[in-house]
Amino acid sequence: MSAQIAFIKPCEASEKDLIELAQQGDKKAFKHLYALHHKRVYGLCFRLSGQHYLAEEATQETFVRLWQKLPQFRGDSQFSTWLHSMTVNQALSSIKKHKSFWARLSPLSEQVELKGDEMEYQALDKHLLKLPERARIVFVLFAVEGYQHHEIAHKLNIAQGTSKAQYHRARKLLQEMI
Amino acid sequence: MSNNDEQLDKMVSKLPKALSPKTDLWPEIEKRLDAPVGKHTNHWRTLALASVIIIGALLGLQQINKPTNIDPNQALLASIDNIQMQHANQVAELQMMGQKVDWQSSPFSSPVETGIKQLRQAAKEIYQSLKLNPTDQQLWELWLWTQSREIELLTQAQSLPVLQNQNGDTI
């Protein structure tokens, strides 16, 4: 079965085929899945963490976890939805692991400057990086990724009202920046 | 809706969802695909390790401050007593919680209780040795482990099921 992928160009194999092959341990198929999704995963990790190195680490961890958990994927939900949820959890876990207590309290410290040659990044990305960590995470999950406040509250282990307050704080800060 | 509000919403809607990482992340991922799945982090091990580091730092500080008249073991002995007291408080709290929540003894908890008793005896002996030899790192590790294990067992004992007594001698 694993040889099968060698005869299928990435664009010809459907995502469903790639998932099935990867579930059986086919690394080439998994690499194709990586190629299809890594930019989306990285984008999400970067906006949540606000750091390149953390985003890279979280992306790597997400795909290693995906490889380990893939046999459990039964197709009940969309693969992209499943991967998205896994990515958010992994990014939040990486942030928690790395950021010190003080870094969370000092909002404008440790800023990442996006250089002019990083064309993919929009002006908003530069402003997002300047937000306090919690406010940024809530804003990204709510406004960019479409999560509901009760879902964010559950993921961050905070009250729904706190999530709403953080979102409004982020919005106010961003409005002042633009 | 203000201009700023509208502008912000427009910027959000234009934000691309995908971004390229600066480096190729695949080689590192590929290397890790064959590695066995990592075990769950043992927080007590981390705590024990942190304690050893603190002890090491304390010993180092004592070496630096040698010319003073303070007994170098004094701080360690104080730490031992402090940790012992904190642990005793934690155990008392757990036991009190157990009494509040469920005052029936579980028939399944007997082996656990025996284990706790044995562990306490061992911890007592280690504690006495440690008081005599407060710079022994291995003794420290072992002592901290017995404490963490005791807490684990106490928690475990409290979560064991209680069989309903048919004779009606419990409320």
Segment A56-87, tens digit of pLDDT: 999 999 999 999 999 999 888 899 999 999 99
The residue behind tokens 């002890």 is B55
Q: Is the ipTM above a cut-off of 0.90?
A: no
Measure A67 CA to nearest chain B CA, in Å.
7
Rg (CA), chain B: 27
Burial A56-74 (b: 16+ CB within 10 A, else e): bbbbbbbbbbbbeebeebe
List, in order of start, the domains of chain A with CATH numbers.
Answer: 10-98 (1.10.1740.10), 105-178 (1.10.10.10)
Name residue B85's amino acid. M
Name the residue of chain A whose CA is nearest to B10's CA: A124
What integer is the mean pLDDT of B65-93? Answer: 79
Q: Establish if A120 touches chain B: CB-CB under 8 angstroms.
A: yes
Angle between helices A15-23 and A27-49 (to 10 degrees): 100
The pLDDT tens digits for B100-158 are 655 455 555 567 777 788 888 888 888 888 888 888 877 787 888 888 888 888 887 76
Evaluate whether B159 touches B101 at the Cβ level (below 8 Å): no
Select the residue of A46, A60, A123 nearest B25 (Cβ to Cβ): A60
Does residue A43 carry a pLDDT above 70? Answer: yes
3-state secondary structure of A5: helix
Q: What residues does each domain of chain B span?
A: 74-98+111-159
Specify the pLDDT at position A23.
93
Measure B57 CA to nearest chain A CA, in Å.
21
The residue behind tokens 């709290």 is B93
Evaluate whether B97 touches B127 at the Cβ level (below 8 Å): no
Rg (CA), chain A: 18
What integer is the mean pLDDT of A76-104? Answer: 83
Specify the pLDDT at position B59.
82
Residues of chain A contacting B38 with CB distance shorter than 8 Å: none
The pLDDT tens digits for A108-141 are 444 555 555 555 567 888 899 999 999 999 999 9
Dist. CA A115–CA A131, nearest whole Å: 18
